[in-house]
Amino acid sequence: MVTRTFQRTKYFAYVKLGSRQKSMRKYRRPTGRHNKSRQKWKSRPPMVEIGYKTKGKTRGMINNKTPVIINNLEELKKLNPKENIAIIAKIGRQNKMEIAKEALAKKIEIYNLNANKFIKEYTREEKIKLKEEQKETPKKEETKKEEKKTEVKEETKTEHKQGEKTT
């Protein structure tokens, strides 16, 4: 059975009720004396009533798999890919990266993350960081070379001064 979306009465007539923006469309039960939706007129949106609920066996499932919230890599390893679908909790980037790699290896479906895309973006950003670090490191080497040159110049100056004093 297809789940039905219930609309508020006359949502299409007013912007504040969601005529243009779906996120603003929230169901409110019609209560007015002459309200056509409450009277169940043919062309009006249906009201929430008994009989629209999904079957108990499939209720809460995603693609006929039971969703499981994953907090770490150990929980992912316990999953059965045929029966469960993973939902990643709010975790850090490195843990999410490890979970995404493991899920690709075990062919576990993750509902709220595109593993391939996430791994590509993460590796691309890592490469950019490495390039920036490489650009900064030659500057440090150049400063070291300059320091060595100044040390050599100071040594030669002190040697010349000592040589002049002895003569």
Instruction: Return the exposure string of 54-89: e unless at least 16 CB atoms fall within 10 Å of the residue's CB, then b.
Output: eeeeeeeeeeebeebebeeeeebeebeeeebbbebe
- Give the H or E element holding residue 87: strand 84-88
Query: Is residue 166 predicted with pLDDT exceeding 60?
Result: no
**The predicted structure's pLDDT at residue 2:** 58
Q: What is the mean pLDDT of residues 152-158?
A: 69
For 82-130, write each residue's pLDDT tens digit. 999 999 999 999 999 999 999 999 999 999 999 999 999 988 888 888 8
Q: What is the mean pLDDT of residues 8-18?
A: 90
- Give the H or E element holding residue 88: strand 84-88
Average pLDDT across the chain, whole number: 86
**The predicted structure's pLDDT at residue 129:** 85
